[in-house]
């Protein structure tokens, strides 16, 4: 039924905290990819992503969110978690606290009054806003050696890099503490009631990429509904699949 090498994993956060963590994780991976590019476009891509990271976290106490989630995982660990897993969760809580201590003050404060970063950030919302005639200072900086640009990017991202280490540990544990079922969406539709009081944080839907179907989910604490759509022509709106779609679902806590 499944070709493991072709499985596409769709992750759906079920809580506000997980939605924040997954967005942060994605942006950090995107920044890393762009920052390694030596071209001007790569550096500009890294700056654009850094601006998104700053915007995502500027009104949230992410350090407190991390500690709350680490505590929740210990308190609400599933019955299937053995002693080794319990010790791992406790160790993660300690490691997260140590990581957070290394980040002084509110996250992002080092960028709040940074002249160049904010000058560039203000122009990012404008199509083509970063150009030599409107922003010559950015053009000058982008023409500096890659090593110099890289060093500044590292200084800018470092507090977020530390925070990402903690979030990565929490997400790894959440993905590890999961139960898996094999199901079929009849004519592209699947619905399931969840046990009251469940502690599910993320749903992972694994679908064979060769099926050309992708899931959309609506979920509350008590019920999940999946609808699979067939992407035939990217220029046209997708229709709900009329075929039965096999998939795997993982309930991550």
Contact 15, 199 (CB under 8 A): no
* Architecture of the domain made up of 16-176: Orthogonal Bundle (1.10)
Contact 138, 120 (CB under 8 A): yes
What pLDDT digit, counting tens, does each position of 84-140 carry? 999 999 999 999 999 999 999 999 999 999 999 999 999 998 999 999 999 999 999
Regarding predicted confidence, which is higher, 190 or 81? 190
What pLDDT digit, counting tens, does each position of 216-236 carry? 999 877 899 999 999 999 999
* Architecture of the domain made up of 179-252: Sandwich (2.60)
Closest Cα partner for 189 from 221, 228, 151, 155? 228
Is 1's pLDDT higher than 50? no
Is 11's pLDDT higher than 70? yes
Alpha carbon of residue 19 to chain centroid: 7
Buried b (16+ CB within 10 A) or exposed e, 151-180: ebbeebbebbebbbebbebbbebbbebbee
Contact 32, 161 (CB under 8 A): no
Q: Which residues pair with 250 in a beta bridge?
A: 180, 204
Percent of the chain surpassing pLDDT 70:
98
Question: What does the pLDDT read at residue 4?
Answer: 57
Residue range 46-53: average pLDDT? 97
Residue range 139-143: average pLDDT? 96
Question: What does the pLDDT read at residue 2?
Answer: 46
Mean confidence (pLDDT) of the chain: 95
Under the banding of pLDDT at 50, 70 and 90, the label for residue 78 is confident
What value does the CA radius of gyration of the chain take, rounded to a whole number of Å? 21
- Rounding to the nearest 10 degrees, give the CA dihedral for residues 142, 145, 149, 150: 140
**What are the sequence ranges of the domains in the chain?**
16-176, 179-252
Residue range 141-148: average pLDDT? 95
Question: What does the pLDDT read at residue 79?
Answer: 82
Residue range 55-67: average pLDDT? 97
CA distance 87 to 202: 22
Question: What does the pLDDT read at residue 225?
Answer: 97
Question: What does the pLDDT read at residue 81?
Answer: 87
Is 163's pLDDT higher than 80? yes
């Amino acid at each position: 039924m499944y070709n493991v090498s072709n499985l596409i994993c769709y992750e759906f956060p079920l809580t506000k905290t997980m939605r924040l963590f997954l967005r942060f994780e994605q942006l950090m991976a995107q920044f890393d990819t762009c920052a390694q590019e030596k071209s001007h476009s790569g550096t500009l891509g890294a700056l654009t992503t850094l601006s998104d990271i700053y915007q995502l976290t500027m009104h949230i106490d992410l350090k407190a969110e991390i500690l709350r989630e680490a505590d929740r995982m210990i308190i609400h660990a599933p019955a299937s978690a053995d002693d080794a897993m319990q010790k791992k969760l406790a160790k993660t809580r300690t490691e997260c606290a140590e990581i957070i201590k290394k980040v002084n003050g509110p996250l992002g404060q080092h960028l709040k009054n940074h002249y160049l970063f904010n000058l560039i950030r203000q122009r990012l919302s404008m199509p083509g806003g970063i150009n030599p005639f409107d922003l010559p200072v950015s053009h000058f900086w982008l023409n500096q050696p890659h090593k110099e640009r890289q060093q500044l990017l590292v200084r800018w991202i470092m507090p977020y890099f530390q925070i990402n280490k903690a979030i990565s540990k929490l997400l790894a544990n959440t993905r590890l503490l999961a139960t898996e079922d094999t199901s079929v969406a009849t004519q592209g539709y699947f619905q399931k009631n969840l046990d009251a009081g469940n502690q599910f944080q993320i749903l992972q839907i694994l679908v064979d990429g060769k099926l050309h179907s992708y899931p959309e989910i609506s979920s509350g604490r008590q019920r999940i509904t999946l609808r699979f759509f067939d992407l035939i022509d990217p220029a046209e709106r997708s229709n709900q699949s009329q075929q039965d779609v096999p998939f795997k679902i993982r309930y991550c806590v």
